[in-house]
Amino acid sequence: MIVDSTHRSWILGCTAVAMAGTAGYLGYAWLSANGPSGGSIPGLIFASAGTGLIVFECLLSLRKKYPASPLGRVSWWLRAHVWLGLLSLLLILMHSGFSWGHGLAALLMWLFAIITVSGIFGLVLQNWLPRRMMELVRREALYDQIPMVVWQLRMEADERVEFLTADLGMLEDLTEFVRAGGVKQYFDPAQKAGAAEKQQVFVDKRKAVRQIDIGDEAAGAMRAHYLEEVRPFLFEKTTPYTSKLFATADKGAAYFSHLKTILPVAAHDVLADLEAICEERRQLAVQSTLHAWLHGWLYVHVPLSMAFLVLTAVHAVISLRY
């Protein structure tokens, strides 16, 4: 969520409430003989308000579950989540009299602090990383489909290299996958078999004989470079060596420039294709990393929030009963 002018009313509203709360707290702290305490009436009022806001914030996940709900857009709920979250921190601090407490209370304060910090961290990342992703990853794929795209790139690269080397001896399942934009339905099995046969003729031809003749020596060199350096980069988990080799677009370009100097001109088109394939793979790796940063913080924020909610209930029961 980008913090922009659309947040103004939330910022102003929360600031106003925070100022009113602070004024109330100062008056209460001034007037109470033993200083502010969580068990006093004003302390309980701050606790109730803060807890109410925390419960409301947790409803965000429920709101997301029902996208069509008439109870406001999810973006409205997220804005409320951000700003009321900060306000609830202040209210809880007022409840505790700005003291960290002991035992369960201290645990709750630690949890709340981590949740708040992780939330702010997430918000900062969400403001920054989408733009960065747009700049760095020009060939973005659907995150869930990255393994499939990598597999497809590998198949494509194998096919290109086989034009120079003939059969590489790589046997992989040619799984038929569903493409966005329409699926060919074969009602007639003969039609499907016919299409597969046609495809197989091309594959057999490519594997049997080199389609571009660059000589045995160059073909051997191509095969060795491809299998040892390029192909390992076209897997979901790459080796450290290849990751380093293609770490940036410039490094990738330098590698393929070097190959172009040692291989004949006839191979350059294939090398250009391989360079493009490797660059796409590199961008997908960057995308995966950025995606992990964009969503990784939620693995801290969400479970701790749930734990916090449960422990808050325990804290309330214990405090009120005993």
- Smallest gap from Cβ 206 to another protein, in A, equals 26
Measure the CA angle with vertex 185, ends 184 and 187; round to 5°.
145
Residues in contact with another protein by the rule CB under 8 A: 1-2, 6, 64-71, 73-75, 77-78, 126, 128-135, 141-143, 178, 180-185, 187-188, 191, 291, 294-295
Q: Spell out the residues 6+ positions from residue 150 whose beta carbon is closer than 8 angstroms to its own.
A: 234, 235, 236, 281, 284
Exposed, middle or buried by CB within 10 Å (0-12, 13-18, 19+), for 311?
middle
DSSP character for 294? Answer: H
Q: Spell out the residues 6+ positions from residue 32 whose beta carbon is closer than 8 angstroms to its own.
A: 40, 42
- Smallest gap from Cβ 195 to another protein, in A, equals 13
Please identify, using beta-carbon distances, which residue of 241 and 299 lies nearer to another protein.
299
Q: Spell out the residues 6+ positions from residue 132 whose beta carbon is closer than 8 angstroms to its own.
A: 290
Residue for token pair 């606790």: 47
Please identify, using beta-carbon distances, which residue of 1 and 93 lies nearer to another protein.
1
Closest CA to 133 of 254, 285, 16, 14: 285
- Smallest gap from Cβ 162 to another protein, in A, equals 29
DSSP of 80-112: HHHHHHHHHHHHHHHHTTT---SHHHHHHHHHH
Please identify, using beta-carbon distances, which residue of 71 and 314 lies nearer to another protein.
71
Please identify, using beta-carbon distances, which residue of 18 and 120 lies nearer to another protein.
120
Residue for token pair 């807890």: 51
Please identify, using beta-carbon distances, which residue of 69 and 239 lies nearer to another protein.
69
Please identify, using beta-carbon distances, which residue of 100 and 186 lies nearer to another protein.
186
